[in-house]
Structure 1
Amino acid sequence: MEKDNRRSDLLSPKDSVNTGLNLKHLSGIWIGKLIMGASRLTGRGGTTLPGRAALRFSPGILAYLSRQLAQGSVLVTGTNGKTTTASLLTGILRQAGYQCLHNQSGSNMSWGVASALIGAGAWSGKLPGDIGIMEVDEGAFPAVVRELKPRGAVVTNIYRDQLDRFGEIDHVQKTILSGLDCLPPDSFQVLNADDPSLTDMRSDRPGRTWYYGLELELPPDLFRNTAQDIKSCPHCHDQLFYERIYFAHLGRYRCQKCNFRRPKPDVTLNKRFFTADGRTVIELRLQGKSLKLDYPLMGAYNLYNALAAATCATALGVPADLIGAALTKAAPSFGRMERFSMDGRTLIMALIKNPAGANEVLRTLIEKEGKIHLLVAINDKIADGTDISWLWDADFEQLKSIRERLAPVVVSGQRAWEMVLRLKYAGLDSAGITLEESPKQAILKALQLTPPGEILFIMPTYTAMFDLRRALNALGVAKPYWEGP
């Protein structure tokens, strides 16, 4: 009863719809479930192929499954932060009493969303959840919007990413905008006010736009202006003036020639400080209240992820106290500052896939006191982006500032030699770099260089992260990623 009482004032259920199951949908679900079971028996994740097969057999299956969700769905897209934001939002809604369906493994193409729904449902096709929280790849966003017809969408940010797929930032912007244009008229959108590439998006569409942003007064070296992708006004192309840059092109901006400027955020993060015992405390301003809470996620970029999730939850009608309670219990998402323990050592895995994300992981690493132990693994498969030239835009030169504290860096992956070269150009000596192409041997070598009681940071690209996870699983350290946290 308590759960139902908590939910009574929150989300408004959508109108009843005809979700009649036809034989084609049912066959697609069975095919997907059989492939998923076989895939997991062989040690694979079953997060891609089941959805691909089901969609090929029954193209309308995604729309059918999503129509069962009484509270609809929310999509989370953007270059960086979508996995963590979707995870935080799921935690908030579960705190509020909802049964959420969520593609927690991070498989975020249309077939990944289909796999998540098929995996969560029964063989009859019935789904157990109230609402779907789906992370969606930027390129797949328009198609998934058309199928799911979500009640809302969150866009975290836009950076240069996977140049072989997207090209420059304006292409990503146009793709996301085309998805927002497909949203139902009564849906909402949640945008990062600090990103001029998002606030430039057309604002005359039906449905409310919610903005979030930082309102911090911080030392200028905490958020460094590196890999800045937006330097000119998207309206008149004059130079943008920044009153404060938080990182990359995110900050407080305005054009001195036209009226383009950062919109006033609906939800803000006003304070961030560290306690004597090392805890991070943040203060959010939302729903007319100031909310001070412990926030367990490392990294300054996770401030934006908390803001995005809190703003979307506010748009969905979740009270501030439930939002705060959920954020204090936040856990790292798959491969995003995810922690493991092995032989008395702590391993922290932080995905890198573009300059902006890599810079902030490096910043988090450098802020740590004491000896730094590091493993970098670079692949160039399609899911990573076959163009790895972004490594030269990432600020690995930051490592020079901690050379005295930096243990020999272990490098692995298909493009390990290129990463070794990049570190040499960043100012590291050859003697301080160890190459181990095998994921398992790279982990064992890095652990050998990390004394008990200390932390090993692991910075992999996307498919390298899966290679390392399989190695950790074989070593008895990590459970299969599809099982969730």
Structure 2
Amino acid sequence: MNGDHNRGTSFRRRAPAGGSFSPGFLVGKLLLGATRLLGRGGTTLPGRAALSLAPGLISSLGRQLAQGSILVTGTNGKTTTAYLLAGLMKQGGFGVVHNHSGSNLSWGIASSLIESSSWGGRLRGDLGVLEVDEGFFPVVAQDLRPRGVVVTNIFRDQLDRFGTVEKVREKIEAGLGFLEEGGFKVINADDPSLASLESSRTEYTWFYGLELPAGRDRLTGSREKTACPLCRATLEYRQVYLAHLGRYRCPSCRFQRPEPDLKLVAREPAPDGGTLLDLDFRGERFKLAYPLLGRYNLYNALAAISCALAMKVPRQAMERALAAAAPTFGRMERFSINGRQLVMALIKNAVGAGEVLQTILEQGKEPHLLLAINNKAADGTDISWLWEADFECLAAGGAQPASATVSGTRAEDMAGRLKEAGVAPDRIQVEKRLKESLLKGLASTPKGGTLYILPTYTAMLEIRSILNRMGVGRPFWET
């Protein structure tokens, strides 16, 4: 049962605690300044050092947030959802503290809180909007006792870290137990793994989901599990929107997709090239213009808007915030160089990669690609997802990418995967060095054309740094 609208948004405003100055905080602040002077991001080292000296730093800084904090977690969509939500909250009049660089482990969150504080340890802001890695979610939630939690989805990702989808669900369920009294959670109703969390904690829950007509939104061939999370019987689907996300019911028990509080019932092209979202909030219809492309971004928008509704953000503020939204930090982010467009889209698991490829192909059937695949610790060392992702779409119907440059520590694996998917060998060039691969990708792209860069996380950071040295874009900590 969904929580009552008014009760679900109740929150006792806390008197802000004093400053959080400590030797650990000072070390973090000094390291943050030093790394920025050296032209580095400073998203992890300052927080790691500070937490080693002051393990309670996140908690002490978080207590200063008079409006509490909202944590965003899940497999895909965390960064974009948190970015959209931060914009919505700012337009709603909140002073937002946000880890905009996407550094979402404990030390990244500590670094963001330190950055948003004065030298005296006083936070500049009253509401935290923080993206949190699924594995670290219970720890961060225990530290911050959040006012709200947004959970986007659960997919197979970083199997070397998590092992199974069930392990991720357990982490999220544990973290939800630290919600502050009077808080709320925003859950993707279309994900059966998340909808079943409702049975463990029923108060103050806001569901969101798609209710679009069948057709091109129907996906087949998903390798995601569709077992009922309660009795393990195979779920039956009326519609499938993305991987295992859709409208489902269990034939063996009473489990079924809950009725969403916020539904996307239709969409149409907007005059400016974006999308006009036709939304239904508990029987009330309204429309919002939304500039971001891709089916996965529909879910990101619904998650952020649902949370804004829970926080009673005015409709006009939502319109302003979404109109100003732009692709963020490696999520279909755009750059210009030498008469060419660059579009950078992070890929890190099979479902996300497949959706990125589909979005690219909607712009043109013969794209120029640069795929940069690392398997460092921050990327996840297991790259088996490359064989689960739908790279076959690049060669479907006799089509071929115009060019496909592959790079990174696992460049040869990526080249082999493309060949297996049907991409012609003469379209593929292997260059493990990232700078040289970028130059080759640009050389293969004609003036006026677009080079789509699909990197894993560490490759994305390296490519951004290379672009910055070429005078393109801003350092990621300034975005």
Report the equivalent of 2:3: none
* Residue 232 in structure 1 maps to residue 227 in structure 2: yes
Q: From 187, 195, 198, give the equivalent of 1:199.
A: 195
Q: CA deviation at 1:20?
A: 3.8
Q: From 229, 253, 256, give the equivalent of 1:258.
A: 253
Report the equivalent of 1:121: 117
Measure, in 2, the Cα distance between the counterparts of 1:433 and 1:300.
28
> 1:354, 1:391 within 8 Å by CA — same for their partners in 2?
yes
Q: From 275, 283, 291, give the equivalent of 2:286.
A: 291
Q: CA deviation at 1:204?
A: 4.5
User: Counterpart amino acid of 2:14?
Assistant: S
Report the equivalent of 2:4: none
> 1:151, 1:187 within 8 Å by CA — same for their partners in 2?
yes
Measure, in 1, the Cα distance between the counterparts of 2:282 and 2:234.
34
Q: CA deviation at 1:227?
A: 3.5
Report the equivalent of 1:366: 361
The equivalences for 1:220-369 within 5 A come to 220=216, 222-275=217-270, 278-286=273-281, 288-369=283-364
Q: Note closer, same or farther for the CA distance 1:153–1:63 as it changes in structure 2 (3 Å cut).
A: same
Q: CA deviation at 1:287?
A: 6.1
The equivalences for 1:15-94 within 5 A come to 15-17=13-15, 19-21=17-19, 25-94=21-90
Report the equivalent of 1:4: none
User: Counterpart amino acid of 1:59?
Assistant: P
User: Counterpart amino acid of 2:98?
Assistant: H
Q: Note closer, same or farther for the CA distance 1:277–1:74 as it changes in structure 2 (3 Å cut).
A: closer
> 1:65, 1:117 within 8 Å by CA — same for their partners in 2?
yes
Q: Note closer, same or farther for the CA distance 1:18–1:90 as it changes in structure 2 (3 Å cut).
A: closer
Give the % identical residues: 53
Measure, in 1, the Cα distance between the counterparts of 2:248 and 2:471.
49
Measure, in 1, the Cα distance between the counterparts of 2:284 and 2:332.
30
320-329 or 54-63: bigger deviation: 320-329
Measure, in 2, the Cα distance between the counterparts of 1:277 and 1:177.
40
Tell me the alpha carbon deviations over residues 259-289 of structure 1, each in whole angstroms, 9 at most, x when there is no partner: 1100000011111122577432221222653
Measure, in 2, the Cα distance between the counterparts of 1:65 and 1:424.
51
Report the equivalent of 1:460: 455
> 2:151, 2:187 within 8 Å by CA — same for their partners in 1?
yes
> 1:109, 1:140 within 8 Å by CA — same for their partners in 2?
yes
TM-score with structure 2 length normalisation?
Answer: 0.95
Q: From 470, 475, 480, give the equivalent of 2:475.
A: 480
Q: CA deviation at 1:19?
A: 2.2
Q: From 86, 90, 97, give the equivalent of 2:93.
A: 97
> 2:146, 2:178 within 8 Å by CA — same for their partners in 1?
no
Measure, in 1, the Cα distance between the counterparts of 2:411 and 2:450.
22
Report the equivalent of 2:380: 385
> 1:169, 1:229 within 8 Å by CA — same for their partners in 2?
no
Tell me the alpha carbon deviations over residues 293-324 of structure 1, each in whole angstroms, 9 at most, x when there is no partner: 32111111000000000001111111233223
Q: From 443, 448, 451, give the equivalent of 2:443.
A: 448
Q: Note closer, same or farther for the CA distance 1:186–1:11 as it changes in structure 2 (3 Å cut).
A: closer
Measure, in 2, the Cα distance between the counterparts of 1:267 and 1:407.
41
> 1:227, 1:394 within 8 Å by CA — same for their partners in 2?
no
Q: Which structure 1 segments of 5+ residues have no match?
A: 1-9
Report the equivalent of 1:3: none
Q: CA deviation at 1:14?
A: 3.8
Q: CA deviation at 1:11?
A: 7.6
Tell me the alpha carbon deviations over residues 152-191 of structure 1, each in whole angstroms, 9 at most, x when there is no partner: 1000000010000000101101111011122223211110
Q: From 167, 172, 180, give the equivalent of 1:171.
A: 167
Report the equivalent of 1:130: 126
Measure, in 2, the Cα distance between the counterparts of 1:182 and 1:226.
37
Tell me the alpha carbon deviations over residues 440-462 of structure 1, each in whole angstroms, 9 at most, x when there is no partner: 11111111111122211111011
> 2:408, 2:432 within 8 Å by CA — same for their partners in 1?
yes
User: Counterpart amino acid of 1:19?
Assistant: A
Q: Note closer, same or farther for the CA distance 1:315–1:228 as it changes in structure 2 (3 Å cut).
A: farther
Q: CA deviation at 1:219?
A: 1.7
Report the equivalent of 1:152: 148
